[in-house]
Copies of this chain bind each other. A is one copy, B any other.
Amino acid sequence: MNSSLESRIHTAVARVREHWRGTRFLDGLEPGVEGTSALLDVARLYRAWRLDVGRLQLLKGRAMTGLFFDPSLRTHTSMEVAAGRLGMTFVYLQAGSSTWSMAFEDGLVMDGVAQEHVREAAPVLSTYSDVLAVRAFPKLKVEDVGAGPWNPERGRDETVIRAFSQHASAPLINLESALAHPCQGLADMLTLSDLGGGSFKGQKVCLTWAPHPKPLPQAVPLSVVRAAVLGGADLHVAAPEGFDLDEEEMARAASFCESTGARITTTRDPDAAASGALAVYAKGWGSGDPREHAARAAGLRRWTVDAARMQNATAFLHCLPVRRNVIVTDEVLDGPKSRVIPQAANREPVQAALLLTWLL
């Protein structure tokens, strides 16, 4: 059976490669509609036969490095486990704490705090690693922003992942940046297709803003939009005034609608968006000046997802970690419609599928 399993995996991987020969997975649109669909098939195979696949050690002798500028529970664990089960070595680096502090600006005279430049770090890590993965959030905390006028580009700051993309010779996975969390997006496609019985094409999916004490980046909601569009969903995005998603990224995602049959509707009414949806995907995010987040979010507690809002929806999703009784009530999260645990579980197979695609 194992040689048969091995040949099934080879066949599935070959199908991904027919559609996608790239070595960057940065916003999740790279594999395209066909490539993404083929990647999900590899993920399904891994998921169905996880222990058997693990015993094959298909990627033994291979290595990857994960460089984390920010905390992680799911992303770190699922990535290291996916790599490890396939037989790979995974090196976890906590940037700034266990490594040197890093500079990204070109032409810098480095007589200050930064000890290492990405122009060396990225190619050096590429020599040791068959794959690199990097997580770096934008600095949007109120105390990071300081006084002075707000520069809207800060919310779109992808300096770190772009610099790694420019200077790394190894294949690169974005483990969450300012504007994208593509592994989450890929896992969400798998989850939505599970909920839809193999596909969610044409089905209503609701993405709803929800309250959160911090002005979080839009990486996850934008990745949900991309996932919904790639899968051909009827996507309804609900957000209160002042919390619209990044216009440029929304337009880029929408450009795929024609080929997949997806539709995007935006609304200020979370109940209408949720009603009849296959899944209500909640997420808190900021928009514009982070210093105005608290004031703008005041009085929006009715955006917390509760049982009433879920009444005519099938499943509740969230990328986790989730603020209980702020984003969503305990009643919903602990209730039968919540699918957040299998949703998180889907991170491992989709990431394994990426590794198999690049390294098998």
Which A residues are closer than 8 A to B by beta carbons? Answer: 50-57, 60-63, 65, 68, 71-74, 76-78, 80-81, 83-85, 87-94, 97-100, 103, 106-112, 115-117, 119-121, 123-125, 127-129, 213, 320-326, 330, 333-334, 340-342, 344-345, 347-348
Contacts and interface: CB of A to CB of B under 8 A. Distances in A.
A77 to B, nearest CB: 5
B91 A65 contact: no
A117 B325 CA distance: 11
A121 B85 contact: no
A128 B321 contact: no
B325 A110 contact: yes
A172 to B, nearest CB: 15
A347 to B, nearest CB: 8
A110 B323 contact: yes
Given A73-B100, A98-B68, A55 B51 contact: no
A89 B83 CA distance: 9
A94 B60 CA distance: 27
Contact of A61 (B51, B80, B89, B129): B51
A324 B109 contact: yes
A92 B99 CA distance: 13
Contacts of A341: 120, 123-124, 127
A116 to B, nearest CB: 3
A321 B345 CA distance: 37
Contact of A115 (B50, B54, B107, B321): B321
Contact of A76 (B55, B91, B123, B340): B91
A21 to B, nearest CB: 20
B63 A109 contact: no
A62 B57 CA distance: 11
Contact of A120 (B88, B89, B322): B322
A99 B73 contact: yes
Contacts of A74: 124, 128
Given A97-B97, A100-B321, A323-B110, A348 B61 contact: no
A236 to B, nearest CB: 25
Contacts of A76: 91, 93, 98-99
A63 B78 CA distance: 10
Given A115-B321, A120-B320, A123-B341, A89 B81 contact: yes
Contact of A125 (B77, B91, B326): B77
